[in-house]
Structure 1
Amino acid sequence: MPELLIELFSEEIPAGMQAKAAENLRQMVTNALVEAGLTYEGAQAHGGARRLVLSVEGLDAKAADVNEERKGPRVDAPQPAIEGFLKSTGLSLGQLKVQDDKKGQFYLAVIRRPGRTATEIIAEVVPDTIRKFPWPKSMRWGSGSLRWVRPLHSIVCTFDGEVVHFEIEGIRSGNVTRGHRFMGSQHIEVRRFEDYAQKLHHAFVIVDASARIETIRTEARNLAFAQGLELIEDEGLLKETAGLVEWPVVLMGSFDESFLTVPPEVIATSIKNHQKCFALRHAATGKLANRYLLVSNLVAKDGGRTIIAGNNKVIAARLSDAKFFWDQDRKVKLEVWAKKLDAITFHARLGSQGERVMRIETLAAEIAKTIGADVEKARLAARLAKADLVTGMVGEFPELQGLMGRYYALDQGVDPEVADAIRDHYKPVGPTDTIPVSAVGQAVALADKLDTLNGFWSIDEKPTGSKDPYALRRSALGVIRIILDKNLRLPLTFCGDDLIAFFADRLKVHLKEQGKRHDLIDAVFALGNQNDLLMVTKRVEALSKFLETDDGKNLLAGVKRASNILKIEEKKDGRSYDGDVNISQLIKGEEKALHTAITQAVGQVRRALREEDFEAAMTAIAKLRVPVDAFFEGVTVNDKDATFRENRLRLLNHIRAATAEVADFSRIEG
């Protein structure tokens, strides 16, 4: 079947925008084609340094014909009305159908609209997509009104191998593209994606971004291995370098060994940020090597010696700056750096960084007591945790905050556990990040995140919709991960109900990703005063296991039945039935047995909950399953005798109350 090929060729597209732009192109074009009545088999999009490419395979050559039905006037309507309808449809009276409805007979016009060709549709869709393209940043050039990320030079648009003709801002569509800026042909005629990709490859352009990434990865690993070194993997840098080049060539450079006195993370960050280069380590020792890998965009005639020399020179200058920061920062004690935080505003309504550090220190000490960490170490780590923010090194490389604090702390003889806590107190930064290993680190990390959450909640700066400028969702998830991963008992008594509800939502997201049901979390939080996230999770896990059993499923059905009857009768009577059951009025064996079972179960459940044995609590509540089933089979709740009816409704309320000891069953689905 026919194929649509599109290439939008421009000046260099920022690497970070390419993948999203390729996906936007795919979605916008294919959605518009489908809306216009065309179907297709598959589509692939690619982003590169100078081009966005889309191939739509198996595209219909023509949209299907459409029959449109339009209801007209009644058959006995005035003649002018009938003539006006005929004029609007372009049909004659003989071409109309007559149909019956409740009010009599009326005319029906069936208008056949032939489907448009794919070429016609494409010639409209592609220019419209280009004009509406959602670049994060765009520009205008020359005297035209078109906006693109960088000046747009040419457009390839072919369908079934033939050019689809259109023009936008003086740029005519065609079938000619260009190869590599320096090594490839600047006039390449193409028809379909297969020959397009092949011809560009011969012209030193790898169209597929994933292929460029794997080329860099393979060449980098092989080049490092040949020198007894290992590549320090960095997926983000791999993607970025693949977006900077069309024909990747990996080269190895070096720097003076004297720079290895600087922490390895500083060197790796410096060469990555400034030159987009990869750090290397010795395979035998794991220590950083004074070598690095760069990705060139051409095959140099001198084997890359000039390129390497230029990069060596720039990297030497950058590492000299880094070494200067390292040497100068160590001349000042962390305690002195920390005092400078008083002059830095954390938030206009939440005070300075110094004031925030004081709050974190106090909170870290309280948390340390609760989770069994060394209180004084937690205080010291919290007091020094933000000190590196005012150092020269972190000013140059903000992503090293915390890590540099650890290095400076160790250099100044600070306890290693405290130093590690300084490094780890930002953890976990994301879902794949690790959590602090030591209890001291956990205490400070929790204090840091909880202070952030409490602070922004106090000034009503909460996340809304997709907006979360202060990463509060991430902070809450970090708290949850630390507590659950380390089985920490930390009741969030210092958090308000609104913030507890926010934690409940985040916990639902976290547990849902692990396969837990969100309704069970709701059922536990509905009990109230659930500020111990570890206990909430254990309750949810026990409840989940219970509801997987036959006893659990059947008891849930019985409790829901009891609750529904109660709701109906309470609404009808305008009162609740939460009083005590009159034992003397229990005349049937089934209701006597149920009352006895509820009394025994409640006692057992409460004992189990006091001991935080949630599985035992579920086992106890499961004993209600048989007497509840028997009650509904053998007893009429709405007895003619009002006294018996009221007593039995109170018994139903006792069923609901008994199960509410472990969860709000009304919130459980099923």
Structure 2
Amino acid sequence: MIKKNLLVELFVEELPPKALKRLGEAFSTLLADSLKAQGLAAADALVTAFATPRRLAVQIANVAPQAADKAVSQKLMPVAVGLDADGNATPALLKRLAALGADARAVAGLKRQPDGKAEALFFDSVQTGVSLSVGLQKALDETIAKLPIPKVMGYQLADGWSTVSFVRPAHKLIALHGSEVIELTVLGLTSGRETLGHRFEAAISPVVIRDADSYAEQLASDGAVIASFAERRAEIVRQLEAAAEKIGGGVRAIDDEALLDEVTGLVERPNVLVGQFETEFLAVPQECLILTMKANQKYFPLLDANGKLSNQFLIVSNICPEDASAVIEGNERVVRPRLADAKFFFDQDRKKTLAVRVAGLDKVVYHNKLGTQGERSERVRAIARGIAAKLGTDVQQADQAAQLAKADLLTDMVGEFPELQGIMGGYYAKHDGLSERMAEAIEDHYKPRFAGDALPRNDIGVVVALADKLETLVGMFGIGQLPTGDKDPFALRRHALGVIRMLIERDLPLTLEALLKDAAAPFAALITDASSALGDFIFDRLAGNLREQGYSAQEIDAVLALRPQYLGDVAKRLAAVKAFAALPEAAALAAANKRVGNILKKIEGAVPNEVRQELLAEEAERALFSSMAALKPRADAAFEAGDYTASLQALAALRTPVDAFFDGVMVNAEDAALRANRQALLNQLYGLMNRVADLSRLSA
């Protein structure tokens, strides 16, 4: 069997550009994985994905025309069911063999093998390898069914009767094994070797693909199409950089991976052009202009060396005329009204102060169970005042920032571009004559908006951001609106991580338990107490975040098992656990700690804690008591000073007396007084060992 490269292309109407990258990757991966599973392609076969606005395609190297035959062993039934007392086949066994294409002659060759508590009969046979035409049809059907299509559309086929469903109407199908067409049918199409190139600039139409290896080259030369999504994206980046360099002055195209992917999904052969707009529009906040150019026109704004927006922008065109002036003028004509709208919104919004707008929040529904945005704003104010008082931050300024933080939701600019909430609040606060500190706090109270985002720049911003996120978390948990699976409509996971980051990175002296309790107070009877579930949720998010930072599961489990309330301590506790785990005494002490914990759990009633020295009958228990008494002051001092590493390392001296205690002392002595005294000794030991972390979690 001669292996050849395989090409499959599905030619369709324009695909959704934001989904194209994912669709292309899924199409190639799913198809290749199915062929590999069927034995038609090697597990390490080279897979090359192609995706343009009008096609999904894949090339798979060294695909066999037929999979190799393989030996299979099939379990039939228990021996007691398949054979009678004389060892003859039962009707049930003969029926099962017939279903497999065998008869009574196969009974003698059946194998007996253990299967649980009984023996079962197994039938060995050789399974003929699947042919490429059958296997590829199966693979293509499965791939189309599993594609991550954002929205399926139904459409009629050419016969006028049949209806099929796909992301967009499909018009052509290519399936080439080398130069040979593999006959397939899907979505009402029959496979061939024809496709179409660029809608306007193809040199030949249709493009007839000679073989699987010439696909990309023929589409480029005859069809004016760069078939590879990755190559097309790289070409756009190259042209953007070249255009910016040609303009000079240190300008650069704005860095936006999502926009780059979307534009790559819009063009088949990119051509970057330079446009410009009137400098008067630069009086509008650049975030507004950038957003309208990106979101509405898919342009790449240009920033100068200082990060300020210039009045030039880059257009990624899908055509390459000799004279591009008409294309440039057309795009400039289209963007001008968009920028004018932004300027109009900005000018109109500044006619009313944020303070005047606050009353309007009472008319905006936040949640049917939690009231209006105005009511929510009052809750955030109350939470912010409490946090500010505990941190020694200006309570009045925190209250004012919290009061004004949501007012920009009622502006025309945020109504048009919701992504600008907070940002516009900062601009309008400055226009209203508020301090830079206040404007920053209003702008920053949504931060961090995403993983890796900066934290609020000043203490007022941190207070309001904490209050805002805590209000959301407590409120939603209090009415049972918890995230499920991948659904998190209120972004509670993001809010929890924001709270965690601020508490840790700013090392705030605030306990999580008190924060949640204080945040629940302004809700009164609106919610039920969900602090326990919310605390678990926050610690789960913290554990995930720490895993991403490289801490081991055991280290994280040991620290978070104690539910440390000052999250700023977590990193120091983890460092201490890591250092302790490296000590030669660590494994033995962790195992002993686990043993102590198990003993204490079995004690009925209150666990005694006071040790009576006169009842320390054995030398080993006296030695342990003395060792604990000697090192406790040093361990206590280190713990109180926050030097958790030193506090834990002091415990290393306990290994020998702890080992000796368990070797020579019977904890559960018959004498009740001795037993209680030894339990008290272990209870003190357990408390001493587990202040920084639950060391038993380090035991394998």
TM-score normalized with structure 1 length: 0.91
Q: Does 1:195 align with 2:225?
A: no
Counterpart residue identity of residue 667, structure 1: R
Shift of 1:52: 0.7
Match in the other structure for 1:410: 430
Alignment of 1:55-70 (within 5 A): 55-69=59-73
Aligned pair partner of 2:691 in 643, 648, 661: 661
Contact 1:49 1:245 in 2 (8 A): yes
Shift of 1:425: 0.9
Percent same amino acid at aligned positions?
39
Counterpart residue identity of residue 73, structure 1: L
Alignment of 1:516-527 (within 5 A): 516-527=551-562
Q: Does 1:548 align with 2:582?
A: yes
Shift of 1:644: 5.5
Contact 2:152 2:165 in 1 (8 A): yes
Task: Give the 3-state SS of the residue equivalent to 1:494 in structure 2.
Answer: helix
Aligned pair partner of 1:250 in 272, 278, 284: 272
CA deviation digits over 1:13-33, x for unaligned, max 9? 011111221232233323332
Distance in structure 2 (CA, Å) of the matches to 1:105 and 1:664: 48
CA deviation digits over 1:91-144, x for unaligned, max 9? 465555356869999997543332122232113321343355441201112243
Distance in structure 2 (CA, Å) of the matches to 1:13 and 1:186: 20
CA deviation digits over 1:590-612, x for unaligned, max 9? 22110122344445544444443
Shift of 1:613: 3.4
Alignment of 1:537-576 (within 5 A): 537-564=571-598, 570=602
Q: Does 1:114 align with 2:128?
A: yes
Shift of 1:78: 7.1
Q: Bigger shift: 78-87 or 589-598?
A: 78-87
Q: Bigger shift: 23-32 or 1-10?
A: 23-32
Q: Bigger shift: 626-635 or 502-511?
A: 626-635
Match in the other structure for 1:209: 229
Match in the other structure for 1:297: 318
| Count of aligned residue pairs for this structure pair | 663
CA deviation digits over 1:597-633, x for unaligned, max 9? 2344445544444443323422343332232123334
Counterpart residue identity of residue 444, structure 1: V
Shift of 1:295: 0.7
Alignment of 1:383-462 (within 5 A): 383-462=403-482
Contact 2:274 2:313 in 1 (8 A): yes
Aligned pair partner of 2:549 in 510, 514, 533: 514
Alignment of 1:165-180 (within 5 A): 165-180=183-198
Task: Give the 3-state SS of the residue equivalent to 2:129 in structure 1.
Answer: coil
Counterpart residue identity of residue 414, structure 2: V
Q: 1:514 to 1:472 in 2, by over 3 A?
A: same
Contact 2:111 2:123 in 1 (8 A): no
Match in the other structure for 1:124: 138
Aligned pair partner of 2:245 in 225, 236, 248: 225
Distance in structure 1 (CA, Å) of the matches to 2:90 and 2:368: 76
Contact 2:176 2:212 in 1 (8 A): no
Task: Give the 3-state SS of the residue equivalent to 1:413 in structure 2.
Answer: coil
Q: Does 1:135 align with 2:169?
A: no
Contact 1:3 1:55 in 2 (8 A): yes
Q: Bigger shift: 350-359 or 39-48?
A: 39-48
Contact 2:111 2:122 in 1 (8 A): no
CA deviation digits over 1:514-568, x for unaligned, max 9? 122344444344445x33211344333322322222233332122224445666x
Distance in structure 1 (CA, Å) of the matches to 2:218 and 2:258: 29
Q: Bigger shift: 90-99 or 383-392?
A: 90-99
Aligned pair partner of 2:397 in 366, 377, 388: 377
Shift of 1:88: 4.6
Match in the other structure for 1:354: 374
Counterpart residue identity of residue 537, structure 2: F
Q: 1:512 to 1:356 in 2, by over 3 A?
A: same
Q: Does 1:534 align with 2:534?
A: no
Q: Does 1:157 align with 2:175?
A: yes
Distance in structure 1 (CA, Å) of the matches to 2:381 and 2:273: 48
Distance in structure 2 (CA, Å) of the matches to 1:113 and 1:231: 58
How large is the Cα RMSD of the aligned pairs?
2.9
Distance in structure 1 (CA, Å) of the matches to 2:127 and 2:110: 22
Aligned pair partner of 1:16 in 11, 15, 18: 18
Structure 2: 5+ residue stretches without partners = 77-81, 517-530
Contact 2:53 2:267 in 1 (8 A): yes
Q: Bigger shift: 247-256 or 188-197?
A: 188-197
Shift of 1:83: 6.5
Match in the other structure for 2:330: 310
Q: 1:153 to 1:656 in 2, by over 3 A?
A: same
Distance in structure 2 (CA, Å) of the matches to 1:141 and 1:39: 34
TM-score normalized with structure 2 length: 0.88
Task: Give the 3-state SS of the residue equivalent to 2:154 in structure 1.
Answer: coil
Shift of 1:293: 0.8
Distance in structure 1 (CA, Å) of the matches to 2:20 and 2:180: 27
Distance in structure 2 (CA, Å) of the matches to 1:107 and 1:346: 66
Distance in structure 2 (CA, Å) of the matches to 1:164 and 1:470: 49
Contact 2:358 2:403 in 1 (8 A): yes
Distance in structure 2 (CA, Å) of the matches to 1:138 and 1:248: 28
Distance in structure 2 (CA, Å) of the matches to 1:29 and 1:215: 27
Q: Bigger shift: 305-314 or 578-587?
A: 578-587
Distance in structure 2 (CA, Å) of the matches to 1:412 and 1:108: 84
Contact 1:590 1:631 in 2 (8 A): yes
Distance in structure 2 (CA, Å) of the matches to 1:214 and 1:198: 17
Q: 1:31 to 1:221 in 2, by over 3 A?
A: closer
